[in-house]
Amino acid sequence: MSKRTISGQSCPIAKALCNFGDQWTLLIARDLMNGVSTFEGFQRSLKMSRNLLTQRLRAMELDGIIKRVIPPARKRAEYKPTQKCWDLLKTMISIIKWSEKWMPDVEGGKLEAVDQNGKEIALELIGSDKKIINEFSDISFKMS
């Protein structure tokens, strides 16, 4: 699918997928949120080629998802997540939960989002009555 085709649609899902639909973006964002900040750090974690990683970091900087800074005492650039990157957190947690339910990996580890006490964070749908919604089939999408 060409990016042009999908970005022509006004659906916010279609638009967002144009911005972080490239799978690497979310994996780099995950590392950023975990404190990885250097080119070498991302490369070690993601096993990407230098060329591809350079391209992705540049695109994410242009998109405002990361900021690139060169600390005074160092020569090497460091990368920091912006608010736009942190705001991908709910998307990432929802993907982790979906994956663990539907593609469980008996040998692999468990990835959790944790708060400052090291306790797992839950992601819940809250209805207009302020209660947690566990039955999804009453939900629909409304375009207004």
Near its own copies in 26-65, by CB under 8 A:
26-27, 30, 33-35, 47, 52, 64
The answer to whether residue 121 forms part of the interface with its own copies (CB under 8 A) is yes
d(CA 90, CA 98): 12
Q: Quick one: which of 6, 41, 55, 59 contacts its own copies (CB under 8 A)?
A: 6
Region of 47 (left: φ > 0; alpha: ψ -120 to 50; beta: rest) is left
- What phi, psi does 88 have (nearest 5°)? -85, -5
The answer to whether residue 70 forms part of the interface with its own copies (CB under 8 A) is no
Q: Which residues ranging from 73 to 92 are in contact with its own copies (CB under 8 A)?
A: 84, 86-92
**Residue written as tokens 């920091």?**
80
Query: Which of 39, 91 has the CB closer to its own copies?
Result: 91
